[in-house]
Structure 1
Amino acid sequence: MTPTARQSSFALCIIAWFALLLQLNLSVGMTAASGKPALMGIVIYLGYFTVLTNLFVALALLLPLVAPDSTIGRFAARPMVQGCAVTSILVVGIVYHLLLRHVWAPQGMQWIADMLLHYVMPILFFLHWLLVLPSHRLPWWAPLVWCLYPVGYLAYALLRGEVLQSYPYPFIDVLAIGYGQALLNALGLLVCFVVLGLILVAVSNARARRTG
């Protein structure tokens, strides 16, 4: 890892972990204020694709920094893993901006957490991937492998929803729209994920050709 990449990773790590810890504190605080146990706040917090993906990105930044020679550090630094992380975090920002930002109006510290998780981290991590990390050739089928992450999340969110009778996003809210529409919505988002992944693969390969 170059000095520039280390500095960029370190700076993004600070932002990512601050945003995640801030949102965790807010989630636990909101559930406590409503008379529910703090554990429920953690359960709610871990139900969101936004939170899990920002955690994914935070680990993808942190592990190569603190354990570059370890198995997990080398795994996190792999271009396939970084590519999955950048595709996923961009989907977080795009989907939030297009589908979810009008659903609520966060204020104060919640607005700060909202901006960091949905806008600042997607933009900065994409720029880090594009401008700072070394370019690598990626196979065209990489987005199909990356799909395992959102598909796994969908299975988790639906199972969690069955248990809690609560779903994190309106477009997969089975109680409100039924399984058919929820799965159809999820399929549409998955197609968008693959298309975005293919675009990023093309960008990465073009960079690799120029520098190689």
Structure 2
Amino acid sequence: MNSKNRKSNTQIFYASITAFFAWFAIIFQFYLTKGSIANFFSYFTILSNLLIALSLTFSIFLPKTKIGEFFSSLSVQTAIALYIFIVALVYNTVLRGILIVTGWRLIADNILHVLNPVLYILYWLRYSEKEKLSWKDGVYWAIFPFFYLIYSLIRGVITNWYPYPFLNVVQIGYKTVLMNVGVMIIVFFIIGLLLIILNNKLKKNNDSQDI
């Protein structure tokens, strides 16, 4: 059996808990949200949490399927770790407090932006099968957020609705928004490179322990 398919009971349990919170937070937030389905799934937070839920569900419980093999890839899992890290970073340093939420919304908010990022990044650190990654992977990982940002701007022109204030061209203008988009892509790439360095260091340490 391939080593990637051998998963300990601890890994399965941890992945199950993480997947549960990801699915729960998405469904619960959807229940609490007033607005269109298209708007709901236009948040990068929701898409990133959905990737966590799908990744763990398929890689743990359906690893031999095409989708399971895709989500079992270290590159894919590292990309998801990058996306959810950016979600936590941007929300907790820039967006938290802009919209005051209380009660159940506050609980859902913190699961999406704090608990799930921590759970998944710890999963990536502990259980992702470490193999060498290159800087090119960081370029590939930046493609999804790039097209997401472009999609958000185009859809915003059509619907006059923007998922985040730093993308709202009506309020802050195209020049500022385009600068924000450029900065975001650079941040994705830089943090992606840091994850590559960390991953390769962890792989080297694991290899040295196996000798």
Query: Taking structure 2 as the reference length, what is the TM-score of the superposition?
Result: 0.92
Give the structure 2 partner of residue 20 of structure 1: 26
Quote how far apart the aligned CAs of 1:176 are: 1.0
> Do structure 1's residue 44 and structure 2's residue 44 form an aligned pair?
no
CA shift digits 1:103-161 (9 cap, x unpaired): 01211110011000001111111111012222221112211100011011112111211
Q: What is the CA–CA distance in structure 1 between the aligned matches of 2:98 and 2:65, rounded to whole Å? A: 42
Q: What is the CA–CA distance in structure 2 between the aligned matches of 1:2 and 1:133, rounded to whole Å? A: 10
Give the structure 1 partner of residue 186 of structure 2: 191
Q: What is the CA–CA distance in structure 1 between the aligned matches of 2:52 and 2:177, rounded to whole Å? A: 26
After superposing the two structures, state which structure 1 stretch, 57-66 or 81-90, moved more: 57-66
After superposing the two structures, state which structure 1 stretch, 92-101 or 177-186, moved more: 177-186
Quote how far apart the aligned CAs of 1:66 are: 2.6
Q: What is the CA–CA distance in structure 2 between the aligned matches of 1:195 and 1:189, rounded to whole Å? A: 10
Give the structure 2 partner of residue 140 of structure 1: 135
Q: What is the CA–CA distance in structure 2 between the aligned matches of 1:65 and 1:198, rounded to whole Å? A: 26
SS at match of 2:135: coil
Q: What is the CA–CA distance in structure 1 between the aligned matches of 2:19 and 2:52, rounded to whole Å? A: 9
Gaps of 5+ in 2: 1-5
Give the structure 2 partner of residue 161 of structure 1: 156
Check conservation: 1:45, 1:51, Cα contact below 8 A. Answer: yes
Query: Taking structure 1 as the reference length, what is the TM-score of the superposition?
Result: 0.91
* Greater than 6 Å deviation, 4+ residue runs: none
Give the structure 1 partner of residue 109 of structure 2: 114
Gaps of 5+ in 1: 32-39
CA shift digits 1:151-172 (9 cap, x unpaired): 1111211121112101111111
After superposing the two structures, state which structure 1 stretch, 1-10 or 104-113, moved more: 1-10
CA shift digits 1:148-201 (9 cap, x unpaired): 110111121112111210111111101111222111101111111111111111
Equivalent residue for 2:51, pick from 43, 48, 56:
56
Q: CA RMSD in A?
A: 1.1
CA shift digits 1:18-64 (9 cap, x unpaired): 0000000011xx34xxxxxxxx2x12211111111111111111111
Q: How many residues align?
A: 201
Q: What is the CA–CA distance in structure 2 between the aligned matches of 1:7 and 1:50, rounded to whole Å? A: 24
> Do structure 1's residue 84 and structure 2's residue 90 form an aligned pair?
no
Check conservation: 2:74, 2:128, Cα contact below 8 A. Answer: no
Check conservation: 1:5, 1:133, Cα contact below 8 A. Answer: no
Check conservation: 1:174, 1:182, Cα contact below 8 A. Answer: yes
